[in-house]
Amino acid sequence: MQPILFDIENLTHCYADGTIALRNLSITVKQGKKIAILGNNGAGKSTLLLHLNGILQPTNGTIRFKGKEVKYDRKSLLSLRKHVGIVFQDPDSQLFSANVIQDIAFGPQNLGLPKEEVLRKANPFFKLRTKKTRAIAGVLAMDPEIVILDEPTAGLDSYFSKQIMKVLDHIQKQGKTIILSTHDVNLAYQWADEIIIMHDGEILCYGDPVTVFKQAHLIRKAHLDAPWVMETFQFLVQEKFFSANEAIPQNKEELFQKISSIKSWNLGKISG
């Protein structure tokens, strides 16, 4: 059983203009997971993420980090932010400098890390070269235990998106916890260990990708589509290429493997 990093209880957030962005939301986040928060524009994803490193404070409810309630004095926040790095949705709010090296070194230097260590940590990410990827590199260079990314692939072409996801997989394998938001159901379905579906400030469901996307009525309620891998597989089940008991594939490779197995039976559709 992995230790719990965040324990959020009955979190409500109301912005100054009266908009209620989060409604009585509760969730726990375990260490070492790849977590995707899915939801349409305005669902509350950014608002939730901004609470995780203390940029926003709850209007109501509590947030515990490693068992201790988050405090908002300067010292407590600095300590929280050493553990929890965040890449904002808008890279402009992250990048203060036009110079790549300065951007990447800015974070660690802020935390008082020596220059040599900064460059060593920043180095693997120099090849990431758009505004967004530089913002991501800047946060990764701080080497936080938990990396939060608000729509990391939005507005990027598929080449850069894949590069980012590769880097994230790599650091997760080193024991980090990754929490990202996206409205890309295919990315979330194939990448995540756990998915949180948000809609109108609430969590509609939470769990492993297959379990979450099987709840078609909730996916519809959140105005999301089914992932193509799952939809294709479900069509093949409906057409009786597979039995309904067959495990649902979670990615393209698993789906293709199952389709190849049909050929090896050499008789097409199963009976019944």
Ligand X SMILES: Nc1ncnc2c1ncn2[C@@H]1O[C@H](COP(=O)(O)OP(=O)(O)O)[C@@H](O)[C@H]1O
Q: Which residues bind ligand X (CB under 6 A)?
A: 15, 17, 19, 21, 39, 41-47
Binding part of the chain for Mg ion, among 39-47, 162-170, 196-204, 240-248 by CB under 5 A, reads 39-47
- List beta partners, residue 13: 22
Smallest separation, CB 218 to ligand X (Å): 16
Smallest separation, CB 52 to ligand X (Å): 12
Question: CB under 5 to 8 A by kind: which of Mg ion, ligand X, none does 42 bind?
Answer: ligand X
Rounded CA gap, 246 and 213, in Å?
16
Q: What are phi and psi of 113, to 5 degrees?
A: -80, 145
Question: CB under 5 to 8 A by kind: which of ligand X, Mg ion, none does 54 bind?
Answer: none
Nearer to ligand X, 104 or 212 (CB): 212
In eight-state DSSP terms, residue 174 is T
Question: CB under 5 to 8 A by kind: which of Mg ion, ligand X, none does 34 bind?
Answer: none
For Mg ion, the binding residue among 21, 46, 180, 198 (CB under 5 A) is: 46
Residue type, 252: K
Nearer to Mg ion, 45 or 51 (CB): 45
Smallest separation, CB 216 to Mg ion (Å): 25
Which residues 6+ apart lie within 8 Å of 211 measured at CB? Answer: none
Smallest separation, CB 183 to ligand X (Å): 8
Binding part of the chain for Mg ion, among 81-89, 111-119, 213-221, 224-232 by CB under 5 A, reads 81-89
Question: CB under 5 to 8 A by kind: which of Mg ion, ligand X, none does 43 bind?
Answer: ligand X
**88-107 footprint of Mg ion as x/- string (CB under 5 A):** -x------------------
Nearer to ligand X, 105 or 219 (CB): 219
Nearer to ligand X, 129 or 223 (CB): 223
Which residues 6+ apart lie within 8 Å of 158 measured at CB? Answer: none
Question: CB under 5 to 8 A by kind: which of Mg ion, ligand X, none does 53 bind?
Answer: none
Rounded CA gap, 12 and 145, in Å?
26
Which residues 6+ apart lie within 8 Å of 14 measured at CB? Answer: 20, 21, 59
Residue type, 156: L
Which residues 6+ apart lie within 8 Å of 85 measured at CB? Answer: 53, 107, 139, 140, 142, 144, 146, 147, 148
Provide the token pair at 64: 């515990």
Rounded CA gap, 53 and 65, in Å?
9
CB 213 within 8 A of CB 192: no
Dmax over Cα atoms in the chain, in whole Å? Answer: 68
Binding part of the chain for Mg ion, among 27-35, 41-49, 199-207, 208-216 by CB under 5 A, reads 41-49
> Considering the rule CB under 5 A, would residue 182 count as an interface residue with Mg ion?
no
Nearer to Mg ion, 90 or 145 (CB): 90
Is 67 exposed, middle or buried, given 0-12, 13-18 or 19+ CB atoms closer than 10 A?
A: exposed
Positions in the binding site for Mg ion (CB under 5 A) = 45-46, 89
